[in-house]
Structure formats: C-alpha cells, structure tokens
Amino acid sequence: MKKIKELIILYPSFEKGGATENLINFTNICAEKGIKIYLISNITQRDKIKFFNRNIKFYNVKSKITIGSLNRLITSINSIITLFTLLKKINNKNSLIVSFQSHILPIIFSKIFKRKIIIRNSEDILDATKYADYKISASFVYLLKIFFYNFSDGIITNAIKAKNSLDKILFKNKAKLIYNPYLKNIYKNKNNKRKKIILSVGRLCKQKNQVTAIKAFAHFLNKFPDYKLVIIGHGKDEKKLRQLCLNLNISKNVIFKGWVFNLKKYYLEAKILIFPSLYEGLPNTLIEAVNYNLPCISSRCSGAVDILSNRYGIFISNNQSIQLSNKMVDSILNYKKTLSNTQMIKKKLSRFLIKPQVLKYISFCNNILD
C-alpha cells in the first residue's frame, strides 16, 4: 500500500467552530507523523502559532476587503489561485488534495493536474438545501454537487444521515463515514453542582435555530420562572434574537455571552443543553456537552442520533418550540433519570477521541492513493 507523503489541504475560511477544531487536530497529528502539510487558508499569524504544528506550511489567502460576502468571494478566489500554483509546483505522486470547503473547483483542478482528491462533506446536503436562506441558489449548488462529487476520488462524511444523503447522489460508493477527531480525553468527574441554567451553544444564525430555543424557554419559564437561558455564540442574528427576547418579555432571564473559547465552565454549571439546529454535520457541541455529563435535548439533525442514540437521546422535531419546552420541563422534573441516560450515552464517546479518528483519516487517504 502506498503511504501518503504530502497533503494539500484547502480550508479558505478559518472560523471559530467545530469544523476548525477538527482541522487543527487532523493536520497536527499528520504533521507529527511526518506527513508534509500545505494548508491553504485565511488564518492569522497569531492562530498559526497558537494552534498548529510548526512544521505545517501555510498559504495565507485572506482578503483585505472587510465587506462580508465580498470578503468570502475574494478569499475563495485567492485559495483557488493558490491551489493552482501549488499543483504546478508539487509533482509528488504520493501527494493528495483534501478539500474541507468549496469543493467544486478543487475537483476540477484535480482532474486537470491528474491528482487524487478527497473532499470532506460534513453536512446533510439535503437538509442544508431545504433550510437554506436562498433556495434557488442553494438548489443550483445542490445540482452542481450531484454532478461534481462523482468526480472526486473519495468523500469523508461524519454522520450516518449525511452519508445516506450522499449515497443517494453518488454513482459509486465513495463516501466513508469517519467521526470527528474531537475529544482529547473522557471527563471522569461526575459530581457537579449544577445551577438553574439552560444552555444554548452555536453561531447566531438561522441554521442553529436559536429562535425556537428562545420561544421554548419563554414557555418553560411558566413552570420554572427562576431559570436563566445562557446563549453562547456570535453571529448575524444577534440583534434579531435580542429583539425577540424583548418581545417575549424574557430579557431579564436571557444572557448573551458572545463567543467563548473554553466552554467547560458552562457545560459543568448548566442543567440542560438545548440544540434545535435545522441541519448539521456531526455537532461537536453535543459531544462536548455529554462528555461533561450535561443532558441534551436536540433536533434530529445529522449527527445528533449518532451521538445521543435513539434509545437514550431526547429529540424534538424541527421548529417545534412547544414540544421543546415540554421536553425541557419533563427533563427537569425527572432529572435523576435524565442524568442516568446521559451516562449511558457517554459510554460510547470514545468513538470521537482524536487520535483513533485521525488514524482512520490517514488510512483512508492511503487507500485512495493505491
């Protein structure tokens, strides 16, 4: 079997979040194993030093334009130009392209330069299209994916539901299920003094569906008026969500914390995490919460069932705030059972430990080269 010597990794938009943490874990272990890494991203010098192995070679594609959509466009163009330049320079047959974002043009370039490419598709593409802000453009992108994904050499996906969606559009069985390389270790302590806090974690945007979380919490307060909802994350919907709290007259009970680097304190203090996301890949938030013994109530988004299990998980339908509120009330009233079920879920968290999952990534890369 051939062994991978070089990886050209495309990750134009380096943003705080679960996907970025997975990238960091993957690239660092690859570098430790002597695999040469070329990382194309808009990463800052500070983040390079803070998060990455010093042997990784970076190609910064950051745009100087600060306007959101234009910034992303220029960054994407820069990343494609950089990829093109790198492919002309690197002529190692044991090299491989791994695209974490913006897959279509890298797939085209891989065919032009006769290189093999793996793409990482973390979302359920059907749900991502269904719940997109701009349905027409999202549907067009979906059709492009159906066509071009079939020209990739392999696809890594991180949840059963997401893999099933891909299997429906692929002519060959190219999709490989590999869970996120996320957990450093399993948290052992079980005796935490929890406060009257409901926790919500995620970017403040339509996908994460904090609107449903806030509406559910408003109903929940009728039964438990002394609870607080702590919302961690930042995003374009913050103003809208704050206004919703005002309209529902619950602003005194809702705390917006913004982005927080280390969430351990919040996972250990809260009573329940609510996660009504419309679509996901594999939500690292749920993995982390369960690791700290925090019960979770989630939508059936991609990855949630993989983590929480049908047997012990607490699930809601999309956009059902009353249903979510009822599940919250029931979980608090039967909290001993809720905690017990969380411990049963936690027994299978070893599937998400960093090193075993990265080794599966590397093995898949080696198989693609053969």
For the record, the structure tokens of 159 come out as 């949840």
Do 347 and 357 share a domain, yes or no? no
For 39, 198, 313, 333, the CA distances from 329, given in Å and listed in that order, are: 47, 11, 15, 6
Do 167 and 209 share a domain, yes or no? no
| 142 has a pLDDT exceeding 80 | yes
Asked if 213 and 316 touch (Cβ cutoff 8 Å), the reply is no
CA distance 5 to 194: 48
Report the chain's mean pLDDT, rounded to a whole number.
Answer: 90
Do 312 and 362 share a domain, yes or no? no
CA distance 316 to 305: 11
Mean local confidence (pLDDT), 242-257: 97
| 129 has a pLDDT exceeding 90 | no
| 102 has a pLDDT exceeding 80 | no
Do 136 and 203 share a domain, yes or no? no
With cut-offs at 50, 70 and 90, classify the pLDDT of residue 99: very high
Do 344 and 360 share a domain, yes or no? no
Please count the CA atoms within 13 angstroms of the CA of 257 that sit on its side-chain side: 17
Do 14 and 156 share a domain, yes or no? yes
Please count the CA atoms within 13 angstroms of the CA of 356 that sit on its side-chain side: 10
* CA angle centred on 101, ends 96 and 104, rounded to 5°: 75
Number of domains in the chain: 2
Residues 6+ apart with CB under 8 A from 233: 200, 201, 202, 203, 204, 208, 258, 259
Residue 247 lies in a domain: yes
Residue 135 lies in a domain: yes
Residue 1 lies in a domain: no
Residue-level pLDDT at 170: 87
- Tens-place pLDDT, residues 157-198: 999 999 998 998 888 888 999 999 999 999 998 767 899 999
- Tens-place pLDDT, residues 320-360: 999 999 999 999 999 999 999 999 999 999 999 999 999 99
Asked if 369 and 92 touch (Cβ cutoff 8 Å), the reply is no
Q: Which strands sit side by side in the sheet containing 197-201, from one edge to the other? A: 254-258, 228-232, 197-201, 272-275, 296-299, 314-316
Residue 192 lies in a domain: no
Do 242 and 270 share a domain, yes or no? yes
Rounded percentage of the chain residues whose pLDDT exceeds 90: 62
- Tens-place pLDDT, residues 253-307: 999 999 898 899 999 999 999 999 999 989 999 999 999 999 999 999 999 999 9
Task: Note the pTM of the prediction, 2 decimals.
Answer: 0.88
Do 161 and 15 share a domain, yes or no? yes
Mean local confidence (pLDDT), 222-238: 96
Residue 189 lies in a domain: no
Do 23 and 169 share a domain, yes or no? yes
Residue 41 phi, psi (nearest 5): -160, 170
CATH, residue 83: 3.40.50.2000
Do 361 and 338 share a domain, yes or no? no
Residue 118 lies in a domain: yes
Residue 126 lies in a domain: yes
Residue-level pLDDT at 87: 87
Residue 187 lies in a domain: no
The neighbour count for residue 317, using CB atoms within 10 Å, is 10
Do 177 and 256 share a domain, yes or no? no
Residue-level pLDDT at 68: 60
Do 227 and 335 share a domain, yes or no? yes
Q: What is the DSSP letter of 183?
A: B
For the record, the structure tokens of 185 come out as 């270790």
246: containing domain: 197-351
